[in-house]
Chain A
Amino acid sequence: MPLLDIEDLHVQVEDQVILGGVHLTVAPGEVHAVMGPNGSGKSTLANVVAGRPGYEVLSGTVRLAGEDITHASPEERALQGLFLAFQYPIEIPGVSNMEFLKAAIDSHALARGEGAPSAAAFIRRARATAERLGLDAGFLKRGVNEGFSGGEKKRNEILQMLLLEPRIAILDETDSGLDVDAMQVVAAGVNDFRDTGNAVILVTHYQRLLDYIVPDHVHVLAGGSIIRSGDRSLAQTLDRDGYGWIEDAC
């Protein structure tokens, strides 16, 4: 059974149709890259799958491990194992990263029918994971994304992904605004995360992230639907030739 199955998804935002029939099937253990020019609907696809308000699903279904989540709340999707790394992570003043992460982890534990981890166990794990991403321990005490640099915000998204251990992680332009060093750290985090039971969707504009995280499948989203799918070489073609040919193809 696929982990994520998107079938003929049509979505509009404020009376404008953005996605006009997207099909995408992701099996366990796979990494998919969704590429495309600006305004092609990449972020809409990422957000609508995560259940962000403001996107209206006109038709089609989204299934997570066989379960229809098309109209589920964002929280239900998250608890069933879906994770979205935000393109623009949100700042929450006055709430520490630690407090935020603990609330998220506790919710997941309770949803699995387990007890919440002890504060000490949680702190130990969060610190060790933060360290792997080059984030110092003081990072956990700071307000969520408050005053973080662009690179810290993206690393914080990966930190959350590693701690929440989703079944499917959608990374929405996680590479944007990262220098090469930060990109390598983020890529190492994603590569650590990958295993045969989970899957990753990389939404990106550029192929450079794919030098570090090698995808199994590459899809080109343009004009609201996937117009071409292939292997890694498709990303290289896009990088060489740009997106101009797509507009001709549409």
Chain B
Amino acid sequence: MPASPQGPRAAEALCARLLGKGAVSYARAIDRDAARARIAADGLPVFRAEAWKYSNVGKWYQAALAPSRAPSVREICVPDGVELHRFDDPAAAPFLTKHLGTAIDLARHPLAAVNRILLGSGVVVRVPAGCRVDEPVNVDDIGAAYEHILLIVEPGAETALVETPTSATHRVVECIVAEGARLMHRRVQPRGQAPQCGLIAARVDEEAQYSLWLLARGSELRRNDIHVTLAGRGAEAHLGGAWRLAEREHLDNQVTVDHLAPECLSRQTFRGVVGGRARAVLNGRIHIAAGAQASDASLTTKSLLESADAEVYAKPELEIYANDVRCSHGATVGALDEAMLFYCESRGIDRDAARGLLLRGFLREAIGGEEAESVLTAGILSAGEAVRAIPTEADAATVGEAQ
């Protein structure tokens, strides 16, 4: 059996596969021509490209070259009032025509073009205008190696999306947040094995709000491209990300916030804990277009190193073409504070539990709220670090609020 091609040859082989007649496609209802044209024109990026220098994308191409599994149909439940259509359903057609790919710049996100061509399973989730849903929309595995979730939050609607990409080689989550709508997007990425990449693309219209919190572990190769476009006046984006990596885990987060309209606000807060021989990358780009006056943008990223061999690359980038803006960014890398550890230990808290307390406090700066606590405990902390029975607001309420 011939060895599978590596590096640039893997990219070439994959291009040939994608552009050839033989590419298997499952979701037939979507237009793949734009994606094919993009790949025919630009090819696929290789490890040497600036945007890919921290992630060996050749490993992902090898995974993409392997025959992908046939999609299976998974049950997806959505709360009352929310519509769900698979891409192949006729009912999905008008939404696909109007919205599919509108939040995605394929020139910037070439793997999204690969996803489009190889797409195995796609769903449209529509929250109709004015509809406010208390229960979150939960989307885990939707049954294919290449997945696309198109979430449309219509004007004035409000919802939360909780998604966990588990086995997909590439997942696109495309969010259209229309005028005055609100979307709270929570992504939980457990530790994985295989190379996995994905794109979260959100278009946020006038006075709309998109919030993302991302709680992630790494995998052999994992890259999250996150691209938020503030397209209407007064739109807001609040992005929080917390990750913990160990051993040889790899996590590359490439985040872009585009301020295209005036008076928009964006906040980005990232916290990472990196040990073993793991590698964490955060590239945070804030782009403010010429017409986007009175933009207010900030980005902070802090990392804690847990071992001498761990690697952290943190790069904020500002690209500003307007002259009336407020922009700030900051990045730090350090280690857990010995004085804090001693303070905990001097109160009888063992070292592991003390680490857990401090790590929890650190990661909470990026993702807060009670929803995050159980995920932090289960997904991020080890058993020894997970402090038992943290008093909650609910406990305090049973004793009566004294405030």
Contacts and interface: CB of A to CB of B under 8 A. Distances in A.
Interface of A: 50-53, 73-75, 77-79, 83-84, 86, 89-90, 92-95, 98-100, 102-104, 106-108, 111, 116, 119-120, 122-124, 127, 136-138, 141, 143, 160, 164
A136 B402 CA distance: 8
Nearest to A91: B340
7 contacts: A75-B351, A78-B348, A89-B343, A92-B343, A100-B347, A102-B391, A116-B389
Given A78-B345, A92-B357, A127 B350 contact: no
A100 B345 contact: no
Interface string B163-201: 000000000000000000000000000000000000000
B343 A90 contact: yes
A99 B358 contact: no
B387 interface: yes
Contacts of A127: 399, 402
Interface stretch (B58-66, B117-125, B360-368): B360-368
A74 B346 contact: yes
B353 interface: yes
Interface residues of B, number: 36
A157 to B, nearest CB: 10
Given A119-B395, A143-B361, A51 B347 contact: no
Nearest to A90: B343
A164 B348 contact: yes
A141 B392 CA distance: 10
Given A78-B347, A116-B388, A53 B342 contact: yes
Contacts of B344: 92, 100, 103-104
A143 B360 CA distance: 12
B339 interface: yes
Contacts of A99: 357, 387, 390-391
Given A116-B388, A124-B399, A92 B361 contact: yes
A52 B342 CA distance: 7
A94 B363 CA distance: 8
Interface string B359-397: 011111100000000000000000000011111100110
Contact of B398 (A120, A141, A164): A120
B368 to A, nearest CB: 9
A94 B395 contact: no
A90 to B, nearest CB: 4
A82 to B, nearest CB: 8
Contacts of B388: 103, 106, 116
B19 interface: no
B389 A119 contact: yes
Nearest to A131: B402
B331 interface: no
Given A52-B346, A104-B349, 19 more contacts: A50-B346, A51-B345, A51-B346, A74-B346, A75-B351, A78-B347, A90-B337, A90-B339, A102-B389, A103-B349, A103-B387, A107-B347, A107-B353, A108-B348, A119-B391, A124-B399, A127-B399, A138-B403, A143-B361
B338 interface: yes
A123 B391 contact: yes
A53 B344 CA distance: 13
A51 B361 CA distance: 24
B365 A93 contact: yes
Nearest to A82: B346
A75 B362 contact: no
B361 A123 contact: no
Most buried by A among B338, B360, B390, B391: B391
Contacts of A79: 348
Nearest to B346: A74
Contact of A86 (B343, B360, B363, B389): B343
The 6 A-B pairs at the shortest CB distance, nearest first, are namely A94-B361, A137-B402, A119-B395, A78-B348, A95-B361, A104-B347
Given A94-B364, A99-B391, A78 B343 contact: no
Contacts of B342: 52-53, 74, 90
B348 A104 contact: yes
Contacts of B390: 99, 102
B346 A119 contact: no
Contacts of A53: 338, 342
B92 to A, nearest CB: 43
Nearest to A130: B402
Given A90-B340, A94-B362, A106 B346 contact: no
Nearest to A104: B347
A86 B362 CA distance: 23
Most buried by A among B351, B361, B387: B361
Nearest to A145: B343
Given A53-B338, A93-B365, A95-B358, A75 B398 contact: no
Contacts of A102: 389-391
Contacts of A108: 348
Contact of B346 (A84, A93, A123, A138): A84
Contacts of A94: 360-365
A143 B362 CA distance: 11
A107 B349 contact: yes
A143 B365 CA distance: 12
Nearest to B388: A106
B242 to A, nearest CB: 11
A95 B360 contact: yes
B347 to A, nearest CB: 4
A141 B390 CA distance: 12
Contacts of B353: 103, 107
